[in-house]
Structure 1
Amino acid sequence: MTKATASLPPDLHQWVTRHVSSMDTAAVTDASWPRGDSRVWHVHTSHNKVFVKLYPSTEKYEREVMGCEHATRALAADEAPHLLATDPERPAVILSALPGRVVRGLPLEQAEEQQVHQLAGDLLRRWHDAPEPISDIEHQRIMASVTAQADEAATILDRLGDQLSPAEQDLVRDIARDLPGLAQALPLAYRHGDYSPRNWLWNPEPTPGHHSLIDFEESAPGLPVEDLVWLCGAAWPTRPDLRDAFLTGYGQPLSSTEQRALVLLTARLGVSYLSTGLTKTDTVLIDRGRTVLQHMVHTPR
């Protein structure tokens, strides 16, 4: 995840200095994701290892703070970073560092990868089970978001239907027709919002290994099954062993309603990728969208 030696912006450096000792000898590296909006730095001093995160909006900052607070209630102390300092004016936070490496791209043997996914399932279940109050306004926002996704699918079908196979057209039609009703029948919970291996940390030592979670700037109340969309679209179609391991850790199979909603939410993301890719002539998004749609056509729903 760490990319290159860097320096903090001067005003941010002054703020961090008030909270982190030995900043005069700190080693700073840029740890930002290539396509992310937030800026992240790893700061390593003789006394501390921390991450400094600068957000593009107050909303993402507030979600990170609330996500960290939720993690303290839902997870063990070493399974998520701790807030060491916050500044809503910048907006920025300082987070404790956790042992381990980002799972995405790690050369794991099959058994170890299955172990990581099982632990990820267990962690997510505890994350979802920790209660948070969800107001009527939040409930309306969630349902409006799902309806907007269904409407987007209908619009894309009208515009790009001739570029979809008959089976893909039927799937997108199902999204537009069925997704809002399915959402009404599903429970709500506090979701992570970006639950994928790029936000999982894995430390194989000490045995049997340790799994932890980072990056809460997309966390918010929503449908728990939304946290499975990346896995459903990118990992499980070619690795059913990882699906089995994850759901074993999660502790319960998906209900028929959850499974259908998951497939439709994942397909909605795929057709959105495809639409954006065709509009921008982005072959990466086009290929990603077509792959997800093809997988979802063959996934039981």
Structure 2
Amino acid sequence: MRAFAEQAVGRITTWSDVSWVRAESRVWRARGAEGGIWYVKVHQNERFHQREVAALRGWVAGLGAAAPRLVAADAELQAVVLTAVGGRSLHGATHPPEEQRLIFHRIGQLAAAIHASAPARPAGGMLPLGKLARHLDRARPHLASGDEEFIRTMAEKAAHLPGMDVVPTHGDFQPRNLRWDTAAGSLYVIDFERAEWGRLTVPMANHQRREAATPDWQGADGSLRRAVSAELWTAPIPVSRFRPSTGRWSSWWRWRCVRR
């Protein structure tokens, strides 16, 4: 793997394992003889490799300095060499309340920028409701009286609605893949192996855990709208949605964006 990287960037003087603590993670930080820093990553499978390479060669370029650049890719090795981005990971990080609100504001801006990085495409078919029965079976022990009937009724009403337009989506937009530079007030995003074209929504589900742990980021009135990119969205619309797979309601599960 080091030889592959040196073919792309020249002689490497420092080679450090920076993988996540899980068996399938294989990432190294490489420092070159002239001081440059790159990351070398081996994907878990061909699909992840193809998704990340396609995104980096396509719409990710529209994010500018907020995302890494692809230096080299090898389909046989299922590996890539990427430029480094700034900041520190938001995974497990804590910040003062005012900075926390700013961070979530930047997250909203970056999510909107990802969605706007390429023109939207019409969605094919109807809404994907085929997994509803399976999710309800798993969630049934957690449902209150009348919940299942309500969910089925709403699904029936939505069955004939056309799908929303699809846009570029990160696929794993959560703190471990976001890096924050406190001094510059800049946010960066990494790891595009789950990137795909998806619905025109902003997936805030992964940030609910941080909301629960640090509720003060929302502001005194609990408003998410002010934290999530007021500049880029004219009307974020909260959608109350039941998550059948977990048996929980989520008021902020998805936000439909009405952009200027």
The interval holding the TM-score normalised by the smaller chain is: 0.7 to 0.9
Structure with greater proportional strand content = 2
Determine the C-alpha separation between the residues in 2 that align with 1:210 and 1:200: 10
**Displacement of 1:296:** 2.4
**Displacement of 1:174:** 5.6
How many residues get paired? 246
Among 16, 19, 23, which residue is 1:28 paired with? 16
Determine the C-alpha separation between the residues in 2 that align with 1:53 and 1:185: 35
Counterpart check, 1:225 vs 2:179? no
* Amino acid in structure 2 at the alignment position of 1:243: L
Identity of aligned residues (%): 21
TM-score (norm 2): 0.79
Cα-to-partner distance string for 1:76-135 (whole Å, 9 max, x where unaligned): 2x210000111112111000011111112112111101111111111221221222474x
1:204 maps to which residue?
Answer: 182
Determine the C-alpha separation between the residues in 2 that align with 1:60 and 1:66: 10
Q: Which runs of 5+ in 2 are unaligned?
A: 256-260
Determine the C-alpha separation between the residues in 1 that align with 2:3 and 2:233: 46
Determine the C-alpha separation between the residues in 2 that align with 1:298 and 1:210: 24
* Amino acid in structure 1 at the alignment position of 2:60: A
Whether the aligned pair in 2 keeps the contact of 1:187 and 1:224 (CA below 8 Å) is: yes
Counterpart check, 1:253 vs 2:229? no
Determine the C-alpha separation between the residues in 2 that align with 1:95 and 1:299: 32
Whether the aligned pair in 2 keeps the contact of 1:49 and 1:97 (CA below 8 Å) is: yes
Structure with greater proportional helix content = 1
1:9 maps to which residue?
Answer: none
Q: Segments of 4+ in structure 1 off by > 6 A?
A: 297-301
Determine the C-alpha separation between the residues in 2 that align with 1:300 and 1:18: 43
* 1:166–1:45 Cα change, 3 Å: farther
Counterpart check, 1:186 vs 2:167? no
**Displacement of 1:185:** 4.9
**Displacement of 1:161:** 2.2
Counterpart check, 1:243 vs 2:197? no
* Amino acid in structure 2 at the alignment position of 1:224: L
Determine the C-alpha separation between the residues in 2 that align with 1:192 and 1:98: 17
2:258 maps to which residue?
Answer: none
* Amino acid in structure 1 at the alignment position of 2:235: P
What's the secondary structure of 1:85's corresponding residue? strand
Q: Which runs of 5+ in 1 are unaligned?
A: 1-11, 272-288
1:274 maps to which residue?
Answer: none
Cα-to-partner distance string for 1:42-92 (whole Å, 9 max, x where unaligned): 2234422111111122221121112223111x222x210000111112111
1:296 maps to which residue?
Answer: 250
**Displacement of 1:165:** 2.0
* 1:226–1:202 Cα change, 3 Å: closer
**Displacement of 1:248:** 2.1
Cα-to-partner distance string for 1:133-177 (whole Å, 9 max, x where unaligned): 74x8xx44xx57x52xx3323123246524422265356536743
What's the secondary structure of 2:114's corresponding residue? helix
* Amino acid in structure 1 at the alignment position of 2:250: M
* Amino acid in structure 2 at the alignment position of 1:28: S
What's the secondary structure of 1:115's corresponding residue? helix
Determine the C-alpha separation between the residues in 2 that align with 1:240 and 1:166: 32
